[in-house]
Structures are given as C-alpha cells and as structure tokens.
Amino acid sequence: MTGQPITCKAAVAMGAKEPLQVVDVVVGPPQKGEVRIKITHTALCHTDEFTLSGDDPEGLFPCILGHEAAGIVESVGEGVTTCKPGDHVIPCYQAECFPSDREKNTCPTCRGYSLGKTNLCGKVRAFTGKGIMRADGKPRFTLKADGTPIYHFMGTSTFAEYTVLHEESVAVVRNDAPLDKVCLLGCGVSTGLGAVWNTAKVEEGASVAVFGLGTVGLAVIDGARAAKASRIIAVDLDESKFERARAFGATEFVNPAKHDRPIQQVLVEMTNGGVDYSFECIGNVKVMRAALECCAKGWGVSTIIGVAGAGQEIATRPFQLVTGRVWKGTAFGGFQSRSMVPKLVDRYLNGEFKVDEYITHTLAFDHINEAFDLLRKGQCLRCVMTL
Ligand SMILES: NC(=O)c1ccc[n+]([C@@H]2O[C@H](COP(=O)([O-])OP(=O)(O)OC[C@H]3O[C@@H](n4cnc5c(N)ncnc54)[C@H](O)[C@@H]3O)[C@@H](O)[C@H]2O)c1
Ligand SMILES: N[C@@H](CCC(=O)N[C@@H](CSCO)C(=O)NCC(=O)O)C(=O)O
Ligand SMILES: [Zn+2]
Ligand SMILES: [Zn+2]
C-alpha cells in the first residue's frame, strides 16, 4: 500500500466526554519526514482519559487519541532515514530530533546552549499540539463516511490500525521484543522510572514518598527500589492499592483519609523532618502542595508527574522554597525518547524492572470504551488492546 491511502478501523473521539466510535477512517500516505505504522498493540494511559474528559487545554475534536503503543513500520515518506518498513517501533509522544538532525539542527531545545539540558525536543511540538503534520499543516486522517478531517493527538494517535507519525516520534526497537508488553514503555512505565533516575536522581539510602499508586506511581516505586532507596512510602486513598505497591518495593503505606491532620505533617513526623524525595503521580494540585511540603527542609526535592486540568494552579508558601525544598516536574521521565526507549527495552528484557505486572486487563480493540470505563473506576492499571 506504499504511497496509497489505507482504509482501516480507528476509535474516534468525536467530542469531549463522548464514547469513542470505532469506525472506518482513511489514513493518508506518509509525506516528507513521516512514517506510517501498523499499530499492533495499544494501551490506555490516564492522559487519554484526561483529554477525552475535556480538561486538556490542548484537546481538539474529532481526534484519534492513544499514545502508549507498539507497532510495525508499513511505509515511510521522502527523506526518512532512521526507520524502514518492517521495523518494530514504539511511538514516542515526546519526540527527539537527534540523531537524524545532528548536523544542521534547527530545533530550539536540542541545539547550542540547550543541548542535553532537556528531553523536550521542539522540532515537531508546535504541530503535534495542534493535531496536524508538519509537511502540510493538515492531519492524515479523515472519516471514511464523509471525509471529515480528524486531528492527531500527542503526535501519536495509536487508537487506530494505522497511524502516521513524524520521523522524530518513532523509536526503533529490537524485533524480538514482545510488542504486547513493550508498548507500555511508550508512556507510563518509562515516565515513572525516569522521574526517579533522570529528574530527581534518587540516590542509594534516600527516603521517598510516592503519592498515587496507579501505573506511574508503581513505576516510581520500582525505580526507587532499583535506585536502592531506603524507605519508600506509598500514599493512596484506596488501600486496596497497598498490596501491589508492596510487591513493587514500597516499605510503608499511608492513607491520608485515616489521619486528622495534613498528610505532609504526618510524613514529616514519620521521617523525622521530611523525605528526601517525593513524587506526585495523580494530577491533583492540592496533593502536589502536600508532596512538596512533606520534603526535608534544606534539600528535599518534589517532582510533579500528574497532569492537572485547565485552570488548575499549584500554590505553596514561598518560605517552603526559601528554605531549600525544590519543586520539579517531568515529561516522559526526562528520557530522550528515540535514544533511550530501545535501551529501556533491552533493560526490561534483562529483568531490571517490571513491565508485565502492570497489565491487569487485555481486550480486543473494539472494546475500547470498556477499557476507558475500567480506567475511570480505578479498576485497572494498564489495559492492553490488540489490533
Ligand atoms: N508527566 C508525564 O510525562 C506523565 C506521563 C504519564 C502519565 N502522567 C499523569 O500521571 C498521573 C497518574 O497516571 P496513572 O495512569 O498512574 O493514574 P491512575 O489514575 O492509575 O493512578 C492514580 C492513583 O492516585 C490515587 N489517588 C487519587 N486521588 C488521590 C488523593 N487525593 N490522594 C492519594 N491518592 C489519590 C488513586 O487511587 C490511584 O491509585 C495522571 O495525571 C497522568 O495523566 C504524566
Ligand atoms: N496538554 C496539556 C498537558 C498534558 C501534559 O502535561 N502531558 C505530558 C505527558 S502526559 C503523558 O501521559 C507531557 O509530557 N507534556 C509535555 C508536552 O506535552 O510537551 C496542557 O496543555 O496542559
Ligand atoms: Zn501517558
Ligand atoms: Zn529536538
């Protein structure tokens, strides 16, 4: 089908809060610098539900959501050099222009003074935020029924049998990696691990508090275990999450609802002054404040991972920062995506961290609305769908 449009199934979000519609869409051929991928497996991340809920200021409809997936390259557009048809790949919502663009780099965040300071590649972000492709400023998806254009999402749109990505968003992985498992490395698991290893840089013997025990929080716990943290305090309102958190490496468990004083005070007392590192893995601005304020005076570092809705803002007394606590945030755990995702696949296959354990459900793709319901009810970590 090289150079030709493909008609296939996709789950289209027609509007905020509406169930997805699994319908026929036409996926245009990849243009200059683009890659068309056959998606084999996609999971659901909380951020897909966040955008579908209407809370995402960048949310556009109709769109094809999905950003935690794996697949096989079907065809490539003009000028693509870093992948080829048949390659096994993981779409990366956080793009990386290196290594295809090393020589004449026009990326604002991957060149000059910025080089190596961030994983927030700026090469395609302006286009992915608008749901369009760089080559012509248009989406590659249209509804088969009436030709309506459908926006891309996060530069990935993996809730479709075929999708088109910018080359900068495609990580090639070894072809013996199980795609039904490594699809999870496209977002939540990598984010939690990287938040610990790259953003906070937790060191051996440190104390850590993790707020929220979904996939991201559990990956933080697994990363902290691998970093040899001495205490890993797991915090969640739902105590049914504690047993699994223990299996991932948590050493203590706190339910804020069981205490009549602020949770930050409880944690400061438990740790005789505050934790060395905390992580917010929920997307709740009040919890973000608690996560900062439970950190040790002088050096404690709090990393925000959760995504909060339009209009939400964080607050604390400036004195919290004046006295040495540090507030950070992380996108995709600070990993340079195309360089590091293949290495994460290797490390997973070496048994260095968990991946399979997050898959609590598997469903056929046309049951995708059930997967959203499971996620909303807090009943699943990751639901992997086969296309
Ligand atoms: N920054 C990034 O790169 C990045 C990447 C992936 C996901 N995210 C975001 O991370 C967040 C977590 O994602 P997830 O998939 O693990 O979500 P999840 O919904 O599976 O987990 C959230 C957990 O928080 C708990 N919780 C809810 N309110 C709480 C409260 N007030 N106090 C304590 N616990 C509470 C829930 O019981 C649940 O266990 C989401 O906001 C998601 O959008 C960010
Ligand atoms: N579009 C939203 C923000 C959403 C957001 O923060 N996304 C995270 C990834 S969540 C993955 O599950 C992120 O990495 N953002 C960095 C980026 O998108 O460049 C808003 O506008 O508030
Ligand atoms: Zn995600
Ligand atoms: Zn770049």
Catalytically annotated residue among 45, 63, 83, 183: 45
Give the mean pLDDT of 339-352.
Answer: 97
Preceding peptide of 178 cis, ω within 30°: no
pLDDT of residue 101: 60
For residue 381, the CA-to-ligand 3 centroid distance in Å is 12
Would you call 294 a catalytic residue per the annotation? no
3-state secondary structure of 211: strand
Domain map (residue ranges) of the chain: 6-186+355-386, 192-330
pLDDT of residue 329: 98
Give the mean pLDDT of 15-27.
Answer: 98
8 A C-beta contact, residue 248 and residue 192: no
pLDDT of residue 113: 78
Report the atom number in ligand 1 closest to the C-alpha of 45: 15
Pocket of ligand 1 (CB under 6 A): 45-47, 50, 187-188, 191, 211-217, 235-238, 241, 256, 281-284, 287, 305-307, 330-332, 378
Report d(CA 36, CA 48) in Å as an integer. 21
Opening angle at CA 333, ends 376 and 168, nearest 5? 100
Question: Is residue 103 very low, low, confident or very high in pLDDT (cuts 50, 70, 90)?
Answer: low
CATH class label, 6-186+355-386: alpha beta
Residue 355 has pLDDT above 90, yes or no: yes
Strand order in the sheet with 326-329: 252-254, 231-235, 207-211, 277-280, 301-304, 326-329
Give the mean pLDDT of 7-24.
Answer: 98
With a cut of 0.90, is the ipTM above it? yes
Question: Is residue 2 very low, low, confident or very high in pLDDT (cuts 50, 70, 90)?
Answer: confident
Would you call 121 a catalytic residue per the annotation? yes
What average pLDDT does the structure give for the chain?
96
Residue 152 has pLDDT above 90, yes or no: yes
Question: Is residue 374 very low, low, confident or very high in pLDDT (cuts 50, 70, 90)?
Answer: very high
Q: How would you label 70-95 residue by residue, b for 16+ Cβ within 10 Å and e otherwise? A: bbebbbbbeebebbeeebbbbbbbbb
Residue 100 has pLDDT above 60, yes or no: no
Where does residue 213 rank: exposed (0-12), middle (13-18), buried (19+ CB within 10 A)? buried
> What would the pLDDT profile of 112-135 be if each residue is shown by its tens digit?
777 888 999 999 999 999 999 999
The gap between the terminal CA atoms of the chain, to the nearest Å, is 18
pLDDT above 70 covers a percentage of the chain that reads: 98
pLDDT of residue 99: 61
Q: 52, 34, 56: which is closest to 44 by C-alpha?
A: 52
Give the mean pLDDT of 82-108.
Answer: 86
In CATH, 192-330 is 3.40.50.720: yes
- Ligand nearest to the Cα of 184, by number: 3
pLDDT of residue 109: 86
Ligand 1 test: best mutation among 46, 53, 359, 384, most atoms within 8 Å of CB? Answer: 46
Catalytically annotated residue among 67, 88, 338, 361: 67
> What would the pLDDT profile of 223-260 be if each residue is shown by its tens digit?
999 999 999 999 999 999 999 999 999 999 999 999 99
Q: 186, 162, 166: which is closest to 38 by C-alpha?
A: 162
Residue 332 has pLDDT above 60, yes or no: yes
8 A C-beta contact, residue 37 and residue 162: yes
Question: Is residue 102 very low, low, confident or very high in pLDDT (cuts 50, 70, 90)?
Answer: low
Structure tokens at 259: 């205490």
Question: Is residue 304 very low, low, confident or very high in pLDDT (cuts 50, 70, 90)?
Answer: very high
> Does 268 contact ligand 2 (Cβ within 6 A)?
no
